[in-house]
Structures are given as C-alpha cells and as structure tokens.
Amino acid sequence: MKSKNLSEKILKSVQSKGFKYIELPSVIETNHIVQRSGESFRKFIFSFTDQTGNELCLRPDLTIASCLRYLENNLKGKEKIFYSGQAYRKSQNKKDSIIRDQIGFEIIGSNDEKNDDKEIINTSLKSIKDLKYSKGTLTIGNVEIFNLLISKLDIPRRWKLRLLRHFWREDYFNDLLKRLETNSDVDPTIVEVDKKRYLKMLKVNQSSIVASRTIKEILERFDKKIQDPRRASKGKNISKIIREFLKIKCPINKAANELNKFFKKNRINLVVDQKYFPISKNKISKLNLVFSTAFGRQLEYYTGMVFKIDIQSNSKIINCCNGGRFDKLISDLGSKKQIPAVGAALNLNYLS
C-alpha cells in the first residue's frame, strides 16, 4: 500500500469518528521542549536563533505543538482534533530517519476521562484496520497506578518525589532503587548531629534570623529530617516492592486481580476495579491485549493511561501507534489551570 494512499485512508477514518482537522506550526520556542524534557534532550532537536535573539526549533513532537495551540489561542472546553505532519528529531541510531511522518488525534478539555481514553484507543484500532499484518499486541499501562503505589510506601516524602520525578528515566530510576537497597545516601552520624543542633536551637529565640530563615523555620526542616529518616532494612524492602510491581504483566482482563493480589501481599492500602481499564477484552481482531505496569516510561508528560500497538508484518515487529493521557502538559506549558487531555499518534515511516 502506497504511503500517500495509507495516509488518506487513516485521515478519513479519524475524521469519521468526529475529529476536526487542524494545522500546527512547524517551528516552536525551544524552551517549551527543553523545560519538558531537560537540557539533555537539546542534542536531539534542530534549533536556531531568530533576529530578536529567541531560540526556536523545528517541532520534535506534535503533541506539544498541539497543546501550545490550545493554550496560546485561549481555547476553552472540549476539542476533538486531529493533524498530520512531520516531526524533526535527531537519533542516536544513524539508520533512523530524522523526519517522522505522523498522524495524531486528541481529545482536549474534556472531563469524561474513561470514555475519552476508550475513544482514543478505539480510534487507533480503526485507523490500523487496513494494515496488512499477521498478529500484534495492544499493550496498556497506567502511570497513575505507579504514582498511587509510591504515595502509599513508607519512605520519606523527598524519596517519593525523586521516584515519581525520574520514573521515565529508566537507568537513573534503577540507580535510585539501588541507593534505596544499599542505604548509600544516608549517614547515621549526620542524623545524630542534626538531632544535637535541633535540641540546642530549641533553647534560643524562635524569631531570630539565620541565613535568611527564622529559627522556627529551620527547626521545622530539622524536625522533618529527624522524624523521617530512611532505615536501611526499610529501603531494601521498598526497593523490592517497586521492582516486583514493575514486573506485573498479564492479559488485560486479569489486570485488576493481579494488582489487587500484589497490593494485598505487600499490605498496601489500594484496590483497583477492572472497570478502571478502558478495555477488558483479551483479543480484538488479530491483537492480543495485555497490561504492563512497566509500560509508560517513554515520555515524561504521560500522567495516566498509556498504550501502544505493535504489529507483526513479514516477520518484522512494527510499533505503529502510541498514545496516552497527558493531563498536566498544558498547565506545564503555562496554563493557570490543569486541562485534561488524551491522544495518540501513528508513525507513517514504519507503515509505508
């Protein structure tokens, strides 16, 4: 099937589901990308400086360009939109194309989370119905469940924030777990010194200023650190729980049962209903449906349900579609309030 013919069929399929076509700018401000993905991502983008000194770049991601459009045009309420175009990104693999032809579709500004998630997945499934493949897998994950797990673990708040912040950076995240296991970042001697300072400062004037802070403020910080130290044995157990959680992978209709067994075994006060997942069938057409707790670490801006569709064609495994929920992205880009959003994109480079 010719690439142009395939693209036209997919666009018509998406439009038939009630999505409105929009155009997106090819150039955006670099800081929008770097702030979301970190300075390390700069090496993957094509950037330049305009005549006023602003750093701009070719869009490496169409979702961010779409969210900027919603924000900068001061749009309100629900929008069902779709777009097609190219994203430009360098790769460490020299065989990869720097130009990615994509078709994306999103639901923005709607509070009907579960139905919207289901609609995005169903639209994705309809979009690939004309592809020739022998079998495939629809993998569903949920970043929110990981966040809930971390909130229930008996570790200091600062460690919870670290684990949540770096979940998408797999190598660094694994280093954090090793530090939890070995207790390498906690020195008991320093904690004892903190206790002595704390007791001494209790006897002085609480309103006195030291290094731009009142004694009272300093004592509150000391108190949190002293009352909330991380013990070596506890850190090792917490790391084990997280590693076991990230190994859960099962047919989608068993997802709630497997998660609840895990929570019960580890005495974690969480319960998940099967209705929590957008789909409960184990097979749709030639696709097997699986749930994976480890899936969803590819992009930092995902906040809830995530999914991907991999198909096998002529003995090759092709990742044809990726999507998920990104409820915090528009507020991170500058919105004063959080705006719900979910979407997906098909990579035509792999399908042509």
Q: Residue 266 above 90 pLDDT?
A: yes
Q: Tell me the pLDDT tens digit for each residue of 210-250.
A: 655 787 777 776 666 555 554 556 888 999 999 999 999 99
Beta strand 283-284 with 287-292 is antiparallel
Q: Residue 187 above 50 pLDDT?
A: no
Say what the pLDDT of residue 43 is.
Answer: 85
- Alpha-carbon distance 242 to 146, whole Å? 9
Query: Whole-prediction pTM value?
Result: 0.81
Say what the pLDDT of residue 37 is.
Answer: 66
Q: What is the CATH number of domain 3-149+243-350?
A: 3.30.930.10
Beta strand 20-21 with 79-88 is parallel
Is the Cβ–Cβ distance between 110 and 116 less than 8 Å?
yes
* In the chain, % of residues over pLDDT 90: 56
Q: Average pLDDT of the chain?
A: 86
Q: Tell me the pLDDT tens digit for each residue of 32-52.
A: 887 766 676 788 899 999 999
Select from 138, 107, 61 the least CA-distant residue to 308. 138
Domain ranges, ordered by start, for the chain: 3-149+243-350, 188-227
The pLDDT-based confidence of 190 (bands split at 50, 70, 90) is very low
* In the chain, % of residues over pLDDT 70: 88
- In the chain the first and final C-alpha atoms are separated, in Å, by 7
Is the Cβ–Cβ distance between 343 and 323 less than 8 Å?
yes
